Amino acid sequence: GAVVSQHPSRVICKSGTSVKIECRSLDFQATTMFWYRQFPKQSLMLMATSNEGSKATYEQGVEKDKFLINHASLTLSTLTVTSAHPEDSSFYICSAPTSLSTDTQYFGPGTRLTVL
Amino acid sequence: GQQLNQSPQSMFIQEGEDVSMNCTSSSIFNTWLWYKQDPGEGPVLLIALYKAGELTSNGRLTAQFGITRKDSFLNISASIPSDVGIYFCAGRRNTPLVFGKGTRLSVIA
């Protein structure tokens, strides 16, 4: 299947700092990527849809000024958690549909964010 | 909004047993996807279904897209220890994927 990578896989930061997470599609181009958040033993919660060349679409209740999304190219989307606080600690996962079928999404390995 | 009910929430089975889990939706979907997630990892796509009534296999896994387009099931035959993990169903119709809450599978050797 298609490959999506994320970097870093794990990050620990101090409260008040900003953290950038990268999501890359390695063997296909993705005009759209999705960012999810997952709390322990919970399902995936869609945060936003990242669109190449235009603004991201945020789900209800997700602060766009806190979770900055930039889809710089057809293979890269970044999520920046600004002024992180302990409650932002979570598992962040991106996904991208392949060009063959927009319904089939492949997920990255996730990024574990811990805010102290 | 769209909701997915996934059951069972968790299962404990003996190695070699068959497993069945399902998802039902309050609305119609055009696509059903089944994922497996290991601890600390992202979900891995197991099977994708695009047509009502479609039955698709991937090794020991078989999934079906319900005729009503509101449900899907996943079967795992002859379970092995590496089947342990959380299985998520996901559906879509003109919206981003909607996920079930997952089925946590434990396999006792």
| Residue length of chain A | 116
Amino acid at A45: M
* DSSP-assigned letter for residue A60: T
Phi, psi for A108 (deg, rounded to 5) = -75, 175
Give residue B3's Cα distance to chain centre. Answer: 15
Query: What pairing do the DSSP bridges indicate for beta strands A111-115 and A10-13?
Result: parallel
Q: Using one digit for the tens of pLDDT, what is the confidence trace for B58-84?
A: 999 999 999 999 999 999 999 999 999
Q: Which of B43, B107, B39 is nearest to B76 (CA)?
A: B107
Among A76-80, A107-111, B97-101, name the one with the lowest average pLDDT.
Answer: B97-101
* Residue of B31, B45, B101 with shortest CB distance to A106: B45
Which pLDDT band holds residue B1 (cuts at 50, 70, 90)?
low
Is A1's CB within 8 Å of B35's CB?
no
Which residues on chain A are in Cβ contact (under 8 Å) with B35? Answer: 107
Q: Report the pLDDT averaged over residues B33-43.
A: 95
User: Looking at CA atoms only, how far is residue A46 from chain B in angstroms?
Assistant: 8
Q: Using one digit for the tens of pLDDT, what is the confidence trace for A16-63?
A: 999 999 999 998 888 899 999 999 889 999 999 999 988 999 999 999
According to the model, what pLDDT value does residue A103 have? 72
Residue B2 has pLDDT above 70, yes or no: no
User: Looking at CA atoms only, how far is residue A112 from chain B in angstroms?
Assistant: 8
Is B45's CB within 8 Å of A112's CB?
no
User: Looking at CA atoms only, how far is residue A61 from chain B in angstroms?
Assistant: 15
Q: How far apart are CA B38 and CA B27, in angstroms?
A: 29
Is B43's CB within 8 Å of A108's CB?
no
Between the alpha carbon of residue B5 and those of residues A75, B21, B58, B100, the distances in Å are 33, 11, 23, 6
Helix or strand (DSSP H, E) at A34? strand A32-38
With a CB cutoff of 8 Å and minimum separation 6, the contacts of A20 are A78, A79, A80, A81
The residues facing A6 across adjacent strands are A23
Between the alpha carbon of residue A80 and those of residues A28, B40, B94, the distances in Å are 23, 20, 27
According to the model, what pLDDT value does residue A104 have? 81
